[in-house]
Chains A and B, each alone.
Chain A
Amino acid sequence: MITMNEVWKTYPNGVMAINGIDITIDKGEFVYVVGPSGAGKSTFIKMIYREEKPTRGDIIIDGKNLAKMKERHIPLLRRRIGVVFQDFKLLPNLSVYENVAFALEVIEESPSNIRKRVMDVLDIVHLKNKARFYPHELSGGEQQRVAIARAIVNNPSVLIADEPTGNLDPDTSWEIMHILDDINQRGTTVVMATHNKEIVNTIRKRVIAIEGGRIARDEMRGEYGYER
């Protein structure tokens, strides 16, 4: 599903973010990516949806090598990967329905398909009754659920979540986790970067710890392993 071979990433300003990573994530897995701030987690995540390009090495997703991928093929890659962020990134002047539909409109889906898909995913994130609301009328947890709905609306094979619970209170965080787990149960691979010790130690999944741009730990049903 996702394979990295000897991946290195040095930013133009000289920061060496990733220093030789080898890893394979199989289809249908749920993976936590943990580690101290500035250890390379974000770069690791960004390379999967090709916001950053590795300096050296190969990243293979669904048989396609991202390191050699042409610029014009990136949109097609992104259509098979959903991304969720800590700050939701919703469009404030669009309703819940429109925010989710936006992801399909810009890839030129047919209107009838859009309607059906949007209602389906709003059902998955339990927001069917709030389709007409605007982001500012929703709680943080609800906004993150809209973002998740948008990320999965085009049926991606991978869902990437970059600290999805970072801005949320504990109760809401659990709610988000259950939804992500649910999506994973439906067959979508989930890669989630997090600082939330409690979640990692409770919902046990594979844990990849990144420190100093290398993989410090890779355990099935692992623990968070840091104090904070």
Chain B
Amino acid sequence: MKGRTILRHLKEGCKNLVRNGWMTFASISAVTVMLFVVGAFLMIIMNVNHFATSLEQDVEVRVFIDIGAEQEEQDELLSDLEEIPGIDSIQFVSKDEGLDSLIASLGEEGDIFKSLKEENPLNDVFVVQAEEPQETENIAGDIETLPHVDSVEYGKDIFEKLFSVTDFVRLVGLILILGLMFTAMFLIANTIKLTIIARKREIQIMKLVGATNWFIRWPFFVEGLLLGTLGAVLPISILGYGYRRFYESVGTETGISFFQFLPQSPLVYQMALLLISIGALVGVWGSMMSIRKFLKV
């Protein structure tokens, strides 16, 4: 394509935006509303995702060692554990440490257990963490078959519930975002279609004198791209500003240690980039869809 032609397409695309003022306004508004909701959801989902991942990090396997196991046998078990693939970390907690933390966690009621210090009934424990939280169940199964293992515990129920909840939230968010994208796309396609009807004769003449389909499409491509990206401006500014203020006032303090909000710095920029891409995609897609019919002359 010649430079002169590129310039013409850009000029035509912008001219069309101005010429169809109200239609342009309607399309941009549709994109703005859509991206606003999508953006809000995105930030919620990203935060939920963040919570879920930090919860998942906390899922660990407790490997109870046979009470009678000698030091060598413990070492043997440790080297066996190290050979299992997909394990992130292994931490040894002796039965004394275990009792101490039990007593501490129970507060005053824990005092009763102090008498047990002489005759500690607990097992020594290896705390194992998987690289991928989803692999925890398999790894626990593998560990159970090793020698010198009394039993294995990994909070199966909580663990499964957690995954079903986080998966559900992600799925709902994804469906919502896709649904909104399609709605906005059809809105854009329809508004552009209305403006194309006014330009039908122009397109028809272009076809008749031998313009290629892409020559006719480019200005509409530019127009759709501009509609989509302009529609992203307002949602990005409002959501970005809003999150910044929210984060400044609430900060990372949510009251629960592992429930922390994502810092604004990467989140807001990621959101902006995503919204601009979605806007551009929806705009271009919509305009390409609406012109298709008119190219068949």
> Which residues from 160 to 190 on chain A have a C-beta closer than 8 Å to any C-beta of chain B?
none
Residues of A within 8 A of B210 (CB): 75-79, 106-107, 154
Q: Are A102 and B8 in contact (CB under 8 A)?
A: no
Q: Are A79 and B209 in contact (CB under 8 A)?
A: yes
Q: Are A78 and B208 in contact (CB under 8 A)?
A: yes
Whole-angstrom distance between the alpha carbons of A76 and B208 in the complex?
10
Q: Is A83 an interface residue, CB under 8 A from the partner?
A: yes
Binding site for A on B (CB under 8 A): 2, 4-5, 8, 201-202, 204-213, 215-216, 297
Give the top 5 A-B pairs by smallest Cβ distance, nearest first.
Answer: A79-B210, A78-B210, A106-B211, A103-B209, A75-B210
Q: Is A91 an interface residue, CB under 8 A from the partner?
A: yes
Whole-angstrom distance between the alpha carbons of A226 and B202 in the complex?
36
Q: Are B201 and A107 in contact (CB under 8 A)?
A: no
A106 partner, pick from B4, B201, B215, B297, beta carbons under 8 A:
B215
Q: Are B212 and A75 in contact (CB under 8 A)?
A: yes
Q: Are A91 and B297 in contact (CB under 8 A)?
A: no
Q: Are A89 and B5 in contact (CB under 8 A)?
A: no
Whole-angstrom distance between the alpha carbons of A75 and B213 in the complex?
8
Q: Are A78 and B209 in contact (CB under 8 A)?
A: yes
Q: Is A62 an interface residue, CB under 8 A from the partner?
A: no
Whole-angstrom distance between the alpha carbons of A154 and B212 in the complex?
15
Chain A nearest CB, measured from B139 CB (Å):
57
Residues of A within 8 A of B211 (CB): 75, 106-107
Whole-angstrom distance between the alpha carbons of A105 and B9 in the complex?
12
Residues of A within 8 A of B207 (CB): 75, 78
Q: Is A49 an interface residue, CB under 8 A from the partner?
A: yes
Interface string of A72-93 (1 = CB under 8 A from B): 1001111100010000010100
Residues of A within 8 A of B297 (CB): 51
Residues of A within 8 A of B212 (CB): 72, 75
Name the CB-closest residue of B to A76.
B210
Q: Is A150 an interface residue, CB under 8 A from the partner?
A: yes
Q: How many residues of A contact B (CB 8 A)?
A: 20
Q: Are A89 and B204 in contact (CB under 8 A)?
A: yes
Whole-angstrom distance between the alpha carbons of A169 and B208 in the complex?
26
Whole-angstrom distance between the alpha carbons of A119 and B204 in the complex?
24
Given A105-B8, A108-B2: A91 touches B205 (CB 8 Å cut-off): yes
Q: Are A150 and B204 in contact (CB under 8 A)?
A: no
Residues of B within 8 A of A76 (CB): 210
Name the CB-closest residue of A to B5.
A108
Name the CB-closest residue of A to B207.
A78
Chain B nearest CB, measured from A167 CB (Å):
16
Whole-angstrom distance between the alpha carbons of A224 and B209 in the complex?
30
Chain B nearest CB, measured from A32 CB (Å):
22
Residue from the set B2, B8, B202, B209 with the largest chain A CB neighbour count within 10 Å? B209
Chain A nearest CB, measured from B18 CB (Å):
14
Known: A79-B209, A106-B211, A107-B211. 9 other contacts (CB 8 A): A49-B208, A72-B213, A78-B210, A83-B208, A89-B201, A106-B215, A106-B216, A107-B209, A108-B5
Q: Are B201 and A91 in contact (CB under 8 A)?
A: yes
Given A51-B297, A89-B201, A91-B201: A150 touches B209 (CB 8 Å cut-off): yes
Residues of B within 8 A of A106 (CB): 206, 209-211, 215-216
Whole-angstrom distance between the alpha carbons of A199 and B207 in the complex?
30
Whole-angstrom distance between the alpha carbons of A150 and B4 in the complex?
22
Residues of B within 8 A of A83 (CB): 208
Name the CB-closest residue of B to A85.
B208
Whole-angstrom distance between the alpha carbons of A227 and B215 in the complex?
46
Q: Are A91 and B202 in contact (CB under 8 A)?
A: yes
Chain A nearest CB, measured from B67 CB (Å):
80
Chain A nearest CB, measured from B286 CB (Å):
23
Name the CB-closest residue of A to B208.
A83
Residues of B within 8 A of A154 (CB): 209-210
Chain A nearest CB, measured from B216 CB (Å):
8
Whole-angstrom distance between the alpha carbons of A107 and B212 in the complex?
8
Chain A nearest CB, measured from B206 CB (Å):
5
Whole-angstrom distance between the alpha carbons of A130 and B123 in the complex?
104
Residues of A within 8 A of B215 (CB): 106, 108
Whole-angstrom distance between the alpha carbons of A35 and B204 in the complex?
26
Q: Are A102 and B2 in contact (CB under 8 A)?
A: no
Chain A nearest CB, measured from B195 CB (Å):
15
Residues of B within 8 A of A51 (CB): 297
Name the CB-closest residue of B to A107.
B210
Chain A nearest CB, measured from B179 CB (Å):
34
